[in-house]
Structure 1
């Protein structure tokens, strides 16, 4: 996505209400264009289903806004917590249908990375940021068993925001190797074209995977690439800004057909398929 939050003209600045419950953080915000009008966060994952509607209404009331003044709803569609994604998407679909508003889904991983770029949810970017010409932002959410939900994005500044790797579930060990390979290829090309330097910022559930992140940092140090990482939480403003840009371009989901990005089967589905396979083999 290039120019992720660029507005085409002054009149295409709808007020957008956004939420994301794909992680332990229940994040929500209201924006108009690139202006953040209000924001709220909660770290009570088990209470997402209980509190999300009242929190949204409270956020609107705190800004003196009503549903009639909204121009759309944005929701984090995952990947992430199976139950969390379902809660957020269900609430967003219900409100969009009831209030007759356009609905857009936003990659929760992209929102996490976008927050890193804006420097709001991560202090990982080093003091030499100004001398770095290209920056990669890599969000990670723990998916257990050595796996992460992850993707990658590249920026040369806020007006240039591009996806470079799709959302998916990957083994952290293999993903670290892949990032090192890509960085080495970039440096090789940079040397031949006299392009600038590269940094990689990784944010999200970094504590669980710190050993691999340290290994990646050491590998990249050998090729002149800076790697920083820090724990980062989801921010409602990132979902809202990305969603508002889509709504301003006239994009929207089919409210009834829209579903979260589950990425992988739930454990219950895996066990069911294993049981069904075993039953077929025993026949």
Structure 2
């Protein structure tokens, strides 16, 4: 599993965030760690009707004019093919019309980061984090991380997924991840859930302290994948596997976007595109077999000549 750091601070930056990669329309206005307005609407994927009006209503309700924005953060997927394009198209249009920097954010990372904020900021998460911190302080050891595994159903037993490492209790709001507290472990992609659980179990077994996780939180669309989440618990009995059926939140997109903006990053609004993810390994192999078969059939000489 590869490792990449997500760093940066979005203190004071006013960010408009929108994501339409899932069934939930997620949008937010945030300044630094303060959420001015957060919208989450299950619009049955009818985002083309509601997204523009939701953004307009947020700006008007908060008394924010476009020129006051420091940037626009857009969830670029992976996820629903049609849904992703709505937010991406809106972001490109607004960035060009308002002359504002545009940053893309992984929808999977936003799903994971939002779940971490919500769960760690709750009473149960705070108590667990406090107990773990106290135990490590007493033993003179580094606190074990939590792995966040976001999943979005991709049909036929597949999920859009990735994995991240969290090392400190998050604060509720739109606070960008502090340095050293949040790390990407694997790329966004589409995977068979059964194989993904096997891969996670192997990664857990191979990890040594202090990188070995104390818990794995699987967050997102769990309805069709609970059995596999439970299987991960059965094959890794010494690791707490926590299931978090949550929807993506706009404030998480804003937090990750603010971190990119604060680091001086931005995307080319004209070239900005959704992340459609790569084909699964099975699909790649099927294409290879089909191509070889077609080539072989084309190489057979015509007996009439």
Question: TM above 0.5, one fold?
Answer: yes
Q: Give the superposition deviation at 1:161.
A: 0.4
Q: Distance in 1 between matches of 2:212 and 2:272?
A: 41
Deviation at 1:72, TM superposition (A): 0.7
User: Where do residues 27-46 of structure 1 align in structure 2 (5 Å cutoff)?
Assistant: 27-46=26-45
CA shift, 1:264, in A, is: 4.1
State how far apart, in whole Å, the 2-side matches of 1:230 and 1:156 are. Answer: 18
Please say which structure displays the higher CA radius of gyration: 2
Q: CA deviation at 1:21?
A: 0.0
In structure 1, C-alpha distance between the alignment counterparts of 2:153 and 2:258, rounded to whole Å: 28
Q: How far apart in 2 are the matches of 1:121 and 1:59?
A: 27
Q: In 2, distance between residues paired with 1:206 and 1:121?
A: 19
Which runs of no fewer than 5 residues in structure 1 stay unpaired? none
Task: Quote how far apart the aligned CAs of 1:14 are.
Answer: 2.3
Alignment root-mean-square deviation, CA: 2.8
Deviation of 1:68 after TM superposition, in Å, equals 1.3
Equivalent of residue 144 in structure 1, options 155, 174, 192 = 155
* Equivalent residue, structure 2, for 1:240: 254
- Measure how far apart 1:198 and its partner are: 1.1
1:6 deviates by 2.5
Question: Are the aligned partners of 1:23 and 1:45 in contact in 2 as well (CA < 8 Å)?
Answer: no
8 A contact 1:114–1:238 mirrored in 2: yes
Between the aligned partners of 2:91 and 2:69, the Cα distance in structure 1 is 13
Q: Secondary structure at the match of 1:89?
A: helix
Distance 1:108 1:62 in 2: 26
How far apart are 1:125 and its partner, in Å?
A: 5.1
Residues 185-224 of structure 1 deviation map (CA, whole Å, 9 limit, x = unaligned): 22xx22xx7x886111011011111111111111111xx1
Distance in 1 of aligned mates of 2:88 and 2:120: 23
Change (3 A) 1:58 1:29: same
Check the 8 A contact 2:8/2:263 in 1, yes or no.
no
Tell me the TM-score normalised to structure 2 length: 0.80
User: What is the DSSP-based 3-state SS (H/G/I as helix, E as strand, rest coil) of the residue aligned with 2:163?
Assistant: strand
Structure 1 residues 63 and 151, CA gap change in structure 2 (3 angstroms): same
Instruction: Measure, in 2, the Cα distance between the counterparts of 1:253 and 1:211.
Output: 39
After TM superposition, give the deviation of residue 35 of structure 1 in Å.
1.5
The aligned residue for residue 229 of structure 2 is 213
The alpha-carbon deviation at position 46 of structure 1 amounts to 3.4
Between the aligned partners of 2:8 and 2:215, the Cα distance in structure 1 is 22
Closer/same/farther in 2, CA of residues 226 and 120 from structure 1, 3 Å limit: closer
| Contact persistence 1:113–1:137 (CA under 8 A) | yes
* 2:216 aligned partner: 200
Partner of 1:81 in structure 2? 80
For residues 189 and 121 of structure 2, what CA distance do their matches in structure 1 show? 22
Aligned partners of 2:45 and 2:183: how far apart in 1? 34
3-state SS of paired residue (1:169): strand
Partner of 1:168: 189
Which stretch of the first structure deviates more once superposed, 152-161 or 51-60? 152-161
Query: Structure 1 residues 258, 53: closer, same or farther in 2, change over 3 A?
Result: same
Q: Distance in 2 between matches of 1:197 and 1:150?
A: 18
Aligned mate of 1:251, from 265, 272, 275:
265
Q: Deviations over 1:147-179 (max 9, x none)?
A: 110000001114310000110111101110111
- Once the two structures are TM-superposed, the CA of residue 77 in structure 1 deviates from its matched residue by 0.3
- Tell me by how many angstroms 1:3 deviates: 6.2
